[in-house]
Structure 1
Amino acid sequence: MNTIIAPHGTVVAHGDDRLPVRFWEKTQLSESGCWEWTAQIGHHGYARYSHGSKSRKAHRVAYEALVAPISAGLVIDHLCRVRHCVNPAHLEAVTNAENIRRGENKPPAFRGSRPALKSHCANGHAFSGDNLRISPKGTRVCRTCQRNYSRESAARKRAALTDPTNVPAGDRRPVLVTLATPRPTTLAGTFRAAARVLAANGLYQGDYVPDARDKEMCIPHFLRPMSIVAALKTAVTGDPHGTSRLADEAISTLALRLGDGPRWGDIFSLETHVDDWGDGEGRTTESAVAVLYAAADASEQVAA
């Protein structure tokens, strides 16, 4: 058993029973001492752990369970610079300002000095003065680019609501046309509509849609990548967070087709089972779309 000394002198062993077996099954030991996450990895490279209907960063779960609660105003810095590592000995609670000062790619031995940062964004705008904003995640944001993106996104949205065919060909997504036409009224139709939504937007391995609170993105939720559950809800209601009896029926039917089936029969457990399947390592948009089309074919055979 791998035993380490975590922050505050806490002795922690890999497989510690303060975390469920399901958590440890998603980790593996590396030669560097990292406890690497082998399941879902979020868009920024951090491990994601789903428990019930919630998805959290796995390294924060490990730190709070094995070391101490994370005080308000502090973030977790990976001393090993491996973002999907959940070894508490490689984690340290610091202020967001300190985390930024240490730098994105600075090795631990040099984290006391300020790293060299890019002075301009990809479009040539200076990261300084009123043009610089620090996001809640600690990343630097160019205000000029953000304003331009917001204006362009708003224009596309207005055009789509008026006539989906007015959207420039490079930005057009079939989901716009899908949402403008009558919604499905059958299970098979729901599965096929959800498959079209995922094919257009892409599969998101996480809770419903990325940046659900709109801290970073400003495009409509139904145009973002989304989980399988969110796609089924979008197909019926037009909203990744919407609920309806038909969407719940589709989620229940799909849950029974995936793996060994859900452990419990309530809708939250059924949603979790479906999204856990979608969050599995190696899952792709194509594989999720194929599963939805297979469910549509099976539903049609049962109805016949």
Structure 2
Amino acid sequence: MLSAVKGLSRYHTEKSLEAHLLERSHRAENGCLIIHGYGPRRGTHQKVAGRAWAHIAAYVVLVGGYDPALDVDQTCGAADCIEPTHLRQVSRTEACRSRTQPARCRNGHDRELDPATGRYRRVCRTCNREAQRRWREREAAEVARARAAYGRS
């Protein structure tokens, strides 16, 4: 069954992978089993044992009955949780439907609802305006360098 997990190191057996996952994790106050994978950021999906996603490897080893055609979803909402009671397999449609969108962007700006879809816009207007300003400055600097190289001022 381990061969169905993409990116998993072929040197792991089910017992060794289970031990590897449990030694790299700790129990949180809310009951989640939080894994410390290769990534430095907490709260995001983690990779372990090669390039395999930790929650998928944990589902295979700790729960069993893995179907590669379905997604592994955490019911608790914590992306780095590998608690077996929090893992379930659902279709891609169901996994996307259950996701929540934050009302603020990662820079803390309020995001507005898209009237066509009823969901929050992917990029807030403030961040979009700043990104466009930075792009225009880079383009202007590139044009100025090209003119200076050509002999114009």
Scaled by the length of structure 2, the TM-score of the pair is 0.52
Count the aligned residue pairs: 126
Q: In structure 1, the residue corresponding to 2:88 is in which secondary structure?
A: strand
Q: CA deviation at 1:90?
A: 1.0
Q: CA deviation at 1:145?
A: 6.3
2:124 corresponds to 1:126: no
Q: Distance in 2 between matches of 1:75 and 1:146?
A: 31
Structure 1 residues 33-52: Cα deviation after superposition (integer angstroms, max 9, x where no partner): 43221455565712422444
Q: Distance in 2 between matches of 1:146 and 1:95?
A: 33
Q: CA deviation at 1:78?
A: 1.4
Where in structure 2 are the equivalents of 1:33-44 lying within 5 Å? 33-40=31-38, 43=41
Gaps of 5+ in 1: 1-15, 106-116, 134-139, 165-304
Q: CA deviation at 1:26?
A: 0.6
- State the identity %: 20
Where in structure 2 are the equivalents of 1:86-235 lying within 5 Å? 86-104=82-100, 118=103, 122-123=109-110, 125-129=112-116, 141-142=122-123, 148=129, 151-159=132-140, 161=142
Q: CA deviation at 1:80?
A: 2.5
2:78 corresponds to 1:62: no
Structure 1 residues 191-248: Cα deviation after superposition (integer angstroms, max 9, x where no partner): xxxxxxxxxxxxxxxxxxxxxxxxxxxxxxxxxxxxxxxxxxxxxxxxxxxxxxxxxx
The structure with the largest helix share of the pair is: 1
Scaled by the length of structure 1, the TM-score of the pair is 0.31
Gaps of 5+ in 2: 1-13, 146-153
C-alpha RMSD over aligned residues? 4.2
Alpha carbons of structure 1 residues 154 and 95: separation in structure 2 relative to 1, 3 Å: farther
1:229 maps to none
* 1:49 equivalent among 42, 47, 64: 47
